[in-house]
Amino acid sequence: LRQGRSAVVEFEAWGWTPPRASPGGGPPTPGLANRASPKPMKAQPLLRGLRLQPADTLTGSQPETEAATLLKSSQSPSRQTAAAAAVMQKAIRVNDSQLLHLSLKARSGSASQAGWLHKRSLDTGKWQLRYFVLYQNLLFYYDSDKSEKPSGVALLEGSYCDKYLSLKQVDRTERQQYAHCFSIFYKKDGQRHYDLRAESEAECNTWVEAIRNASYSRLAEQHEQLEQKHLHLLQIMESERQSKWNYVKQAEDMSNQLRRLRLELKELRKEQTSGKEPTEETEELKKIKKVQSFFRGWLCRRRWKQIVEEYIRSEHAEHMRKRNGIVFGLVECEEEYVQQISVLVSCFLRPCRMAASAKKPIITHEDVNSVFLNAETLLFLHQIFLQGLNSKMENWPTLQLGDLFDMLLPMLCIYQEYVRNHHYSLQVLAEYKQKPEFAALLKRYEEKPVCEGRSLETFLTYPMHQIPRYIVTLHELLAHTPHDHVDRQQLEFAKSKLEDLSHVMHDEVSETENIRKNLAIERLIVEGCEILLDVNQIFVRQGSLVQIMGSDKPKNSRVRLGSFSSTFSNKDSKKEAVRQVFLFTNHLILTTRASNGRLHLVKVIF
């Protein structure tokens, strides 16, 4: 499990004993009794439907716990025989005795949360009152609070919990049934989810918070943070010890110097008692030395002040100040961008995936991926880039950013796919917003305080401006970077690569938009138009024009569009018709609009 691979571990009753504590007070180690016994005992299944979530939801940094070592799958033997390879990749078995051991420990007072909840049955859809106990990352539920054996257990690792959101209009009775409900979902599609209901809003919030904190990945993160704080405190203590030793050494030196001064003072007093002339000469020398020392100190301070003022007024210092200001602005913009993408993922992408996993989804997983293409990858990439910027800020005022952009450049190719798909994602979103259920759900997401009144389209547009923002920032940074600076060559290389990427993205977007526009026009024309299928046809503009046709002209005469140079004396001999005109680089297409909104092609093409 620590290596992140899905596996099946069958703990049959091979005389396996409960975990015993190590002599040194370390974690419990499982033991095997009758190791030489080749014949395994058949374990009776305690729970049905118990399935460990796929191991790729667990990370290698999660701590190994007692609950994680005792779980196994309870699937039927017939299914295991028929699909052994599939089962070996999706489930693990649980030894019943060890599961009862965990259940007893949970009931003995080690549980983090316990109480009565209503659980909705997956088969019948009815609500059943069960007694739930949360122990570590296992959620046991019993038929009553006096029962010793649990009727079911759910592994919470790789899951996320949130309050229940109804996707349809319900009456008052059903609304009361769904009040104070919350659901447990898993990140992998196809996993069973649990719908639970509490008696009050406060109890519902307590259970949701407890289940969210039950994941061992969060405990591992907190453990790592505490270790970093501990290391930081040790460094502070070491520096304090070093400074204390320095102060003690300085105190000893000053005490020695004080002894020497006292000895000199005694000698001077002896000289004063022996004669007055040496005493007067010594006092005069002291005054002269004191004046000279004061004058030398004043000259040094004055010269140092002049040097500092000259450097502050110099052109190099001005460039360095502006360069540091640009770097600080880059860090602030990157933090704001990471926050925007995180809001897009947490407030829109993940709830839409939950809605797509419902029994009656109002949006498919394919359309969710089309709307939020590469959003999670962009968030992960810029979180790493922001961490690099913050680590560089610790070396201020020496700031070198070229190596960070060298690391970022190979991974910016994902922006090409995102920009190319942006227009299509907005079209898919516009089609779904015409559905009342999806529009109401999206409005509920946009009303969250984190969104600050911004719509989903606004969040989807933020990545479109990130590459041009980097180009402008690098251009300003190079303007205030000296030519002999160690970071200039890498910044120039990064700027050229970003400009090339921006040109390629612009050309691809322009070509894609032109093809989509041509195909849209071709679909509107009833007869169709093969000219629009040519990729070299570039759309220029469209609009309505009045075509003036003379009735006395021969049939083979060229049809003239209305112009101000024609005379208006023979109005009766001319007919006017409104045409929908589409101008391309090589052709001008005239159409007429029918009552149903479709277009019919006029047999005159320039």
Give the mean model confidence (pLDDT) for residues 20-26.
Answer: 43
What angle (nearest 5°) sits at the alpha carbon of residue 196, between those of residues 71 and 352? 95
The amino acid sitting at 33 is A
Burial class from Cβ neighbours inside 10 Å (0-12, 13-18, 19+) for residue 3 reads: exposed
Residue 92 in this model has a pLDDT that exceeds 90: no
| Vertex 242: Cα angle to 241 and 244 (nearest 5) | 65
| pLDDT above 50: residue 296 | yes
Mean pLDDT, the chain, whole residue set: 75
Q: Is 602 left (phi over 0), alpha (psi -120 to 50) or beta?
A: beta
The confidence score (pLDDT) of residue 71 equals 38
Answer yes or no: is pLDDT of 160 > 70: yes
User: What band does 464 get if pLDDT is binned at 50, 70 and 90?
Assistant: confident
73-82, 96-105, 148-157, 382-391: lowest mean pLDDT where? 73-82
Q: Of all helices (H) and strands (E), which one includes residue 105?
A: helix 96-105
Q: How far apart are CA 73 and CA 452, in angstroms?
A: 46
Q: Is the pLDDT of residue 247 over 70?
A: yes
CA–CA dist 236, 119 (Å, integer): 52
* Residue 550: pLDDT band with limits 50, 70, 90: low
Give the dihedral sign, CA 329/332/336/339. positive
pLDDT tops 70 at residue 297: yes
Is the omega angle on the peptide bond into residue 397 within 30 degrees of 0, that is, cis?
yes
Residue 29: what pLDDT? 39
pLDDT at 177: 66
pLDDT of residue 245: 92
Going by C-alpha positions, the residue among 177, 70, 59, 192 that lies closest to residue 128 is 177
Residue 319 pLDDT: 80
CATH code for the domain defined by 316-483: 1.20.900.10
Measured CA angle at 586 (ends 581, 591), to 5 deg: 20
Residue 40 has pLDDT above 80, yes or no: no
Q: Which residue has the higher pLDDT, 410 or 253?
A: 253
Three-state secondary-structure class, residue 92: coil
Residue 358 has pLDDT above 70, yes or no: yes
* Secondary structure of residue 183 in the 3-state scheme: strand
Mean pLDDT value across residues 455-477: 88
Q: pLDDT class for 168, splitting at 50, 70, 90?
A: low
Residue 45 has pLDDT above 60, yes or no: no
Token pair 């994941």 is at which residue?
215
Q: Which of the residue ranges 10-19, 382-391, 562-571 has the most confident prediction, judged by mean pLDDT?
A: 382-391
Calpha distance 18→223 (Å, rounded) = 27
Least confident range of 160-169, 501-510, 522-531: 160-169
User: pLDDT tens-digit profile of 379-401?
Assistant: 999 999 898 888 888 877 667 78
- Give the pLDDT score at 64: 40
Least confident of 375-379, 380-384, 562-566: 562-566
Are 91 and 77 within 8 A, CB to CB?
no
**Residue 439 pLDDT greater than 50, yes or no:** yes
pLDDT at 233 (0 to 100)? 92
Band of residue 94 on the pLDDT scale cut at 50, 70, 90: low
> DSSP secondary-structure letter at 65?
-
155: left (phi over 0), alpha (psi -120 to 50) or beta: beta
DSSP state of 457: H
**Rounded average pLDDT over 262-285:** 74
Give, in order, the Cα–Cα distances in Å from 462 to each of 351, 419, 422: 20, 11, 11
Q: Indicate the class that CATH gives domain 1-214.
A: mainly beta
- Per-residue pLDDT, 172: 63
Share of the chain above pLDDT 70, in %: 74
- The more confident residue out of 22 and 156 is 156
**Residue 557 has what pLDDT?**
46
Over range 222-246, report the average pLDDT: 90
| 3-class secondary-structure state, position 16 | strand
Top pLDDT among 227 and 122 is at 227
- Residue 552 has φ and ψ, to the nearest 5°, of -95, 5
Residue 149: band (very low, low, confident or very high) from pLDDT cuts 50, 70, 90: confident
Q: Which of these ranges, 1-15, 261-275, 296-310, 550-564, has the smallest mean pLDDT?
A: 1-15
Q: Where are the alpha helices (DSSP H) in 125-215?
A: 172-177, 201-212
pLDDT digits (tens, 9 = 90+) for 333-356: 999 999 999 999 999 999 998 988
CA distance 553 to 573: 10
| Residue of 311, 332, 416 lying closest to 374 (CA atoms) | 416
Question: Does the pLDDT value for residue 190 go beyond 50?
Answer: yes
Percent of the chain with pLDDT over 90: 9
d(CA 561, CA 575): 11
Is a pLDDT exceeding 50 seen at residue 423? Answer: yes
CA distance 479 to 471: 12
Q: Per-domain residue ranges for the chain? A: 1-214, 219-274, 316-483, 530-605
CA–CA distance, 6 with 57 (Å, rounded to integer): 9
Cα 480 from Cα 482, distance rounded (Å): 7
pLDDT band at residue 22 using 50, 70 and 90 as cut-offs? very low
Q: Residues 6 or more apart from 42 whose CB is under 8 A from it?
A: 12, 13
Residue reference for tokens 């919990």: 161
Beta bridge partners of 152: 141
| Distance from chain centroid for Cα 284 | 76
Find the mean pLDDT for residues 429-433.
Answer: 86
